[in-house]
Amino acid sequence: MRMAFVGAQCVGKTTLIKALLTMYPNYKFYDEVVRKLSKEKKLPINEHAEDYDATQTIITNAHLTNAAESAYIHSNAFFDRCIIDSDSFGKYLYQKNKMSSEAFRYTEMVLLLIFNYFPYDAVVYIPPKLDLVEDGVRDTNYDFQTAVDSVIAQNIEVLSHQYDKVTRFYILESQDLTERVTEVRKLIK
């Protein structure tokens, strides 16, 4: 099963996936591309980017690469973020006039490309319920998290109606890690 975990920053996606990997060691882990690219390529992210078009396009391309690779090579995979996150951040930035219409349309096209040609088997949306934790990379602004989460929730709502025949969409309600793992394991079975 190819399962993508979606949500604003600091909702527990990485922590949950790392716990799941101890039970599913044969699963490929597609690490969180935003944090990885931010560190490796010194890309400023969230509210700190200088060129949102470039940053979002590079992140979007990484999601496309991961989705395509997993469709052909890794039938069992966990994605720490996916194209829904990139599209949602892009939509947020576009609405704030921080991203061009061309870059935003590109992200939208890649989202459609992935869902039509490399769809995830399941998307697990994690709404923000945990405290924001400073890690030197992610934004800890609650207003920013809430605004981005609102766009993610809207995207999930729309996509769950359009692609429900190929992708299962699930909202993770629990806050406790053990309960979250149990919920996700039920989806995998």
More reliable by pLDDT, 54 or 87: 87
Nearest CA among 31, 27, 39 for reference residue 2: 27
Q: Could you tell me the pTM of the whole model?
A: 0.88
Determine the average pLDDT of the residues in 141-169.
91
Under 8 Å between Cβ of 145 and 15: no
Half-sphere exposure for 114 (CA within 13 Å, toward CB) = 30
Share of the chain above pLDDT 70, in %: 85
Tens digit of each residue's pLDDT (9 = 90 or more) over 5-54 = 999 877 889 899 999 999 999 999 998 777 666 666 666 555 566 678 98
Residue 90 burial (C-beta neighbours within 10 Å; 0-12, 13-18, 19+): buried
- Residue % of the chain over a pLDDT of 90: 67
Q: Please tell me the predicted confidence (pLDDT) of residue 124.
A: 97
22, 29, 55, 100, 105 from 141: Cα distances, Å: 31, 28, 19, 24, 27
